[in-house]
A and B are shown apart, each in its own frame.
Chain A
Amino acid sequence: MRLKLKTLVAAAALALGAGAAHAEITGGVVKIGVLNDQSGLYADLGGQGSVIAAKMAVEDFTAKDKSLKVEVIFADHQNKPDVGTQIASKWFDAEGVDAIVDVPTSSVALAVNDVARAKNKVFIDSGAASSDLTGSKCSPNTVHWTYDTWMLANGTGKAIVKTGGDTWFFITADYAFGAALERDTSAVVVKNGGKVLGDVKVPLNTQDFSSFLLQAQASKAKIIGLANAGGDTINSIKQAAEFGIVKGGQNLAGLLVFLSDIHGIGLDKAQGLILTSTFYWDMNDQTRAWSKRFAALNGGKEPTMVQAGVYAGVLHYLKAVSALKSDADGAKVVAEMKKLPTDDPLFGKGIIRADGRKIHPAYLYEVKKPSESKGPYDYYKLRATIPADEAFRPLSEGGCPLVK
């Protein structure tokens, strides 16, 4: 009798499994939701630009493969985890969204990561930085595309320590992202023989950094590490120039700097800054051609690496859905994304690792002097290329439970 029950259960499970495999495109349309900051301090690095990028990916994909009908929607998470969770749940439950993309602001991304996993949908993050997304919090439903805190620390941090910047003071955004970035950078600094002298945790979206800059100045550290992003980075760099910090012999390390930030600061104050990025519009013919199309749709603004990552991520997601001919099972789609090698005009050929980390090269850039720049957005010159196999945290060190 007992055996019979077991067989019955097994049979039922098989039947169900078969049912799922047969399920095709839910609702007849692949629905992609771009969830990011549409109006606040991170709106320029993602915002509407990410929506444009997602739509361009759909356009490019459906031009070749007419089998899928794809729709892109977007919403503003206001950098608040509760708002992000609410929108994600509503999208998945009531509006038939199959995948959420972008989601900058690590605290929101980690929340959406949980929602996508609980509802077995797909989450392709481009905007958030926390390396926990593919570390302790990794999920079979999540791909982390563009960059992360480990990669930034390893790129910018290492380069600076190697050139003599061996004592650090951190000005850190007081939430998940800042904490992860400071943690990962401190590790790199210490590992390469440097020392961390102190830190100050600053609330997100602060206008005046002078008080924190004074504390950094008093620490006498050679390097002031800015573990913040967007508007916060802009204000700290501008005000550091005002207080003569660089002239006083200390140097700034912008650990996460986007093209849109440099545009906002201006080259006169940003020149000489070293930063790590995985994408720059002026890398090669392909990126230039794509960026030209993008800028025409985005009011002349060139893409940031986050927007580029949204494009590439959506493109690869659609390839996986098309190969499976189904978008019903989120974990299966992500597994297919990991199986297929990635290939797109912006990041080149690459792979997605078992922990959800997308692997591609990273680039160490230096911001040009005003005299070297030919005009708006001609801001970076390449200092070094970090090959794909060194750019991101080794699979074994992340502590992701999916990796055995």
Chain B
Amino acid sequence: MSTQALFGQLLIGLINGSFYALLSLGLAVIFGLLNIINFAHGAQYMLGAFVAYFLLNKAGLGYWWALVITPFVVGAVGVVIERLMLSRLYKLDHLYGLLLTFGLALVFEGTFSHQFGSAGMPYSIPESLQGVQNLGFMYLPNYRGWVIFASLVICLATWFVIERTKLGSYLRAATENPTLVQAFGINVPRMITLTYGAGVGLAALAGVFAAPIYQVSPQMGSSLIIVVFAVVVIGGMGSIMGSILTGFGLGIIEGLTKYIYPEASSTVIFVIMAIVLMIRPQGLFGQR
């Protein structure tokens, strides 16, 4: 393989990795702090892309507005789901949360599929990010460069908030011992609700990032979510930094596979997952 092609593939891997990282980050936050395995994450990512599409076509608000508004809209849907349904399941086994969110994902996808069909809707790259940069070894579309940059910033910011701020310390404490934290006068149920909303908002944000690259289609989430779950498992359930690093890392490995042996590109991540589970069942960065 020429070094030129190698650099190209690495960069592309990094782009896909940024989607994996953004999505697995949301999952890790939700699992780490709520102990809910959020199977609806893919559907929420898809909702994000659709909200961006609606904002553009019904309200005339473009990409940048969508980037700001969408996480709040879909996050609010998440808050409603948490209040009405998930909050009743915290005392039960993980499995119930998984079943509920899986069911919700099917309902969302089915409804959108019925309404909009499977070919999906076009969504254009915003004008200011159109065009390509010649990097010498490849042409990098400006938009893809933006996605890598933005998702790195968001990932690191999320990590910082949870691991390095007072708010984050409350959150982590609340997962360890909710009763004690509540005794200090902190409204734990509300904090948990907002955390779920934020995790869902992250998925929606990834959906907006994805809209111009992929088709805004009802299946966009389900084809991604399984991979993202594998990423979370490999990184270690609930580990924030773990999911970020694994997301980018696996994106790169997948990119290389696409070059060396493309037929295996849709399975390589699962092979890695199986190996990791055998050698280190708690995941690469997991502590439990």
A, B: real partners: yes
Q: How far in angstroms is the closest Cβ of chain A from B20? A: 11
Q: Is the CB of A43 within 8 A of B113?
A: yes
Contact A210 B15 (CB under 8 A): yes
Contact B139 A248 (CB under 8 A): yes
**Contact call A230/B119, Cβ cutoff below 8 A:** yes
> Closest approach, in angstroms, between the C-beta of B153 and any C-beta of chain A?
22
Q: Does A208 contact B (CB under 8 A)?
A: yes
Interface size class, chain A: 35 or more
Decide yes or no: A301 and B122 within 8 Å by CB, A214-B12, A264-B215 being known contacts.
Answer: no
**A41-73 interface bits toward B, Cβ cutoff 8 Å, 1 = contact, 0 = none:** 111110100000000000000000000000000
> Is A205's CB under 8 angstroms from B223's CB?
yes
Question: From residue 4 to 25 of chain B, which have CB atoms closer than 8 A to chain A?
Answer: 4-5, 8-9, 12-13, 15-16
A100 to chain B, nearest CB (A): 21
The residues of A that contact B118 with a CB separation of less than 8 Å are: 39-44, 47, 230-231
Binding stretch for chain A, among B192-200, B201-209, B258-266, B276-284? B258-266
Interface residues of A in 242-271 (CB under 8 A from B): 242-244, 248, 260-261, 263-266, 268-269
Contact A268 B124 (CB under 8 A): yes
> Quick check: A264 and B122 within 8 Å, CB to CB?
yes
Specify which chain A residues have a CB less than 8 angstroms from the CB of B217 in the assembled complex. 231, 264
Q: B247 at interface (Cβ–Cβ under 8 A)?
A: no
Closest Cβ of chain B to A258, distance in Å, is 9
Chain B residues closer than 8 Å to A99, beta-carbon distance: none
Question: Are the C-beta atoms of B9 and A239 separated by less than 8 Å?
Answer: no
Q: B9, A41: Cβ atoms under 8 Å?
A: no
Chain B residues whose C-beta falls within 8 Å of the C-beta of A242 in the assembled complex:
125, 141, 143-144, 213
The answer to whether the Cβ of B189 comes within 8 Å of any Cβ in the partner chain is no
Give a binary string over A95-128; 1 marks a CB under 8 Å from any B CB, 0 the rest: 0000000000000000000000000000000000
A104 to B: closest C-beta gap in Å: 12
**Candidate in A43, A230, A231, A301 with the most chain B CB atoms within 10 angstroms:** A231
CB of A207 within 8 A of CB of B223, answer yes
Q: Which residue of B lies closest to A209 (CB)?
A: B258
User: B262 to A266, Cβ gap below 8 A?
Assistant: no
A234 touches B215 (CB 8 A): yes
Cβ contacts under 8 Å, A207 to chain B: 214, 220, 223-224
- Selected contact of B255 from candidates A43, A211, A230, A239, CB within 8 Å: A211
Q: Are A214's CB and B224's CB within 8 A? A: no
Instruction: Point out the residue from A200, A214, A244 that lies within 8 Å of B9, measured CB to CB.
Output: A214
Any B CB within 8 A of the CB of A218: yes
Number of A-B residue pairs, CB cutoff 8 Å, is 112
Q: How far is the CA of A218 from the CA of B12 in the complex (A)?
A: 15
Cα A264 to Cα B219 in complex, Å, equals 14
Which of A39, A239, A269 touches B122 (beta carbons < 8 Å)? A269
Q: Which residues of A contact B266 (CB under 8 A)?
A: 203, 206
The distance in angstroms between the C-alpha atoms of A371 and B118, with both chains bound, is: 26
A263's closest neighbor in chain B, by CB?
Answer: B119
Cα(A348)–Cα(B55), bound, Å: 44
Q: In chain A, what residue has the closest Cβ to B212?
A: A242
In-complex Cβ contact of B16 among A41, A208, A217 (8 A): A208
Convert A223-247 into 0s and 1s, putting 1 for each residue whose CB lies closer than 8 angstroms to a CB of B: 0000000110011001100111000
Q: Which of B119, B131, B143, B263 has the most CB of A within 10 A?
A: B119
Shortest beta-carbon distance, A210 to chain B, in Å?
5
Asked if A212 CB lies within 8 Å of chain B CBs, one says yes
Contacts of B121 in A (CB 8 A): 264
Q: For residue B240, give the distance in angstroms from its CB to the closest CB of chain A.
A: 25
Q: CB-CB < 8 A to B213: which residues of A?
A: 208, 238-239, 242
Instruction: Flag B134-146 by CB within 8 Å of A: 1 or 0 each.
Output: 0000110101100
Chain B CB within 8 A of A292 CB: no
Q: Is the CB of A203 within 8 A of B265?
A: yes
Residues of B within 8 A of A201 (CB): 262-263
Q: Can you list 30 A-B pairs with a CB-CB distance of less than 8 A?
A: A39-B110, A40-B118, A40-B219, A41-B118, A43-B118, A44-B117, A174-B263, A201-B263, A203-B265, A203-B266, A206-B265, A206-B266, A207-B223, A208-B214, A210-B12, A212-B262, A214-B5, A217-B139, A218-B4, A218-B8, A230-B119, A231-B215, A235-B215, A238-B122, A242-B125, A243-B132, A264-B119, A264-B121, A264-B122, A301-B117
**Chain B interfacial positions (CB closer than 8 Å to A):** 4-5, 8-9, 12-13, 15-16, 110, 113, 117-122, 124-125, 131-132, 138-139, 141, 143-144, 213-215, 217, 219-220, 223-224, 255, 258-259, 262-263, 265-266
Q: A238-B214, A269-B122 are in contact. List 15 more A-B contacts (CB 8 A).
A: A39-B110, A42-B118, A44-B119, A207-B220, A208-B12, A210-B15, A211-B259, A211-B262, A215-B5, A218-B5, A234-B215, A244-B131, A260-B119, A264-B119, A264-B122
